[in-house]
Structure 1
Amino acid sequence: MFEQITQIFMQYGVWGLFTLAFLDSFIIPVPPFFLQIAMSLVEPSSALRFSTLAFTGSVLGAPIGFLLGRWLGKPLLRKILPEKWTEKATAIFSKNGDAAVIIGAFTPIPFKVFTILSGVFGYSLVKLMLFAIIGRGVKFYLIGLLFYFYGQQAKDLLDQYLDVGLLAVAAVLFIGWLIWKKRQKT
């Protein structure tokens, strides 16, 4: 399914990438970095332009996911889960939402999960956007820089080191979040 959806959007070139990144923030289950990688393989000299389009589309779609979560999420959760579970999840997300969003914006987990949950649990839209800009920016531009500087060899690097690299960057982002959180308390 991922490959079929990617192929459909690839037909539309840069607009397909932008649209996929935008829709990934709230509805489509295919991460745009698959299309970004495919396009960067074909045209490594434009990899940074592809990064910018994917980043912009993803960040612009984040508020829509947030609003969907805010408007539809709570009523749906109340029908599915007991009220005490919803309250507990809201408290957990309020406490740890910063880490969840910044790490989620960078990892391969569909970004819509974090945008929608942010709305459901009343997380700050401003913080969502800030952490989306940081996490999505690191993710898309890291891939873009790899292809820009290494061309088709970047695909081999990603195949070998993507999982370890994503974990390492997620760990750095998490440590940065911990430091930021600690400074806020002082």
Structure 2
Amino acid sequence: MLKGLYDWTMRLADHPRAIWALAIVSFVESSFFPIPPDILMIPLILAAPHRAWLIAGVAMVSSVLGGLFGYTIGALAFEQLGQPILEALGKGDAVAEFNTRFNDFGFWAVLGAGITPFPYKVITIMSGWTGMPIATFVVSSILARGLRFFIVAALLWKFGAPIRDFIEKRLGLVFTVFLVLLFGGFLVVRYL
């Protein structure tokens, strides 16, 4: 099933209205769709590097709006929609424990999920379910998704196709290491 969705998403990159497809994929990926928008964003930027910033902006805005939809699912329809989505993603068992700690690290949770390979949709739904302050959610989502999409756009704009393999295979790891180091740095400063 995922292979079919991946192939369908890749075919969208050749469509004349691919930027609209990117907006839709970015929106739905933030709340329930399993394929990240990078799969569509990368070929769009490689095909038109002069539009890299527009493409990244569309992905960011659409993703944050989709995140607000995920937040709404968590806040208003967790048991009907949110719980089945999280169970389908294999995250259903950890819900109760996660809820007790989530808002303590809310900003960091959203930031981490927004820039790393961790499914952002899980965090958007959990943010609504746990009642994270909406302002915290929106600010951290804009920061996280902006970092993710604009760094990808900058790398593609600067280096073109040769950087594609790095982005597709290793950029998530680089973001994860960066976030761990950043969070670790804050802990060291706080407790020393």
Check whether the contact 2:74–2:124 (CA below 8 A) recurs between aligned residues.
Answer: yes
CA contact (8 A) 2:115 2:172 kept: no
CA–CA distance in 2 between the matches of 1:60 and 1:176? 31
- Structure 2 unpaired stretches of 5+: 88-93
Q: What is the aligned partner in structure 2 of residue 3 from structure 1?
A: 6
Aligned position for 1:45: 50
Letter in 2 for 1:25: S
Confirm or deny: 8 A CA contact 1:102 1:132 kept in the other structure: yes
**Distance of aligned partners of 1:62 and 1:95 in 2 relative to their CA distance in 1, 3 Å threshold:** same
TM-score in terms of structure 2 length? 0.78
Aligned match for 1:124, one of 117, 133, 140: 133
Distance 1:4 1:160 in 2: 17
Matches within 5 A, 1:83-122: 88-122=97-131
Does the residue aligned with 1:96 lie in a helix, a strand or coil?
helix
Match of 1:70? 75
Who is 2:28 aligned against? 23
**How many residues are paired up?**
175
Distance in 2, Cα, partners of 1:89 & 1:161? 28
* Partner Cα distance (1:14, 1:119) in 2: 28
Q: Read off the aligned partner of 1:132 and give its amino acid letter.
A: S
Could you tell me which residue of structure 2 aligns to residue 157 of structure 1?
166
Residue 38 of structure 2: aligned partner: 33
1:147 correspondence with 2:150: no
Closer, same or farther: CA 163–29 of 1 in aligned 2, 3 Å: closer
Worse-matched range after superposition: 3-12 or 29-38: 3-12
One-letter identity of the residue aligned with 1:150: F
SS in 1 for 2:77: helix
Q: Please say if residues 102 and 134 of structure 1, whose CA atoms lie closer than 8 Å, have aligned partners that are also in contact.
A: yes
**Aligned residue number for residue 91 of structure 2:** none
Q: Aligned equivalents of 1:89 and 1:156: distance in 2?
A: 34
What is the deviation of 1:154? 1.8
* SS in structure 2 of the partner of residue 108 of structure 1: coil
Change (3 A) 1:178 1:38: farther
Alpha-carbon deviations, 1:100-151, whole Å to 9, x = none? 1110011122221111111111111111111101110100000000011111
User: CA RMSD of the aligned region, Å?
Assistant: 2.7
Find the partner of 2:66 among 61, 65, 81. 61
Structure 1 vs Structure 2: percent identity of aligned residues?
26
Distance change >3 Å, CA 176–CA 124, structure 1 → 2: farther
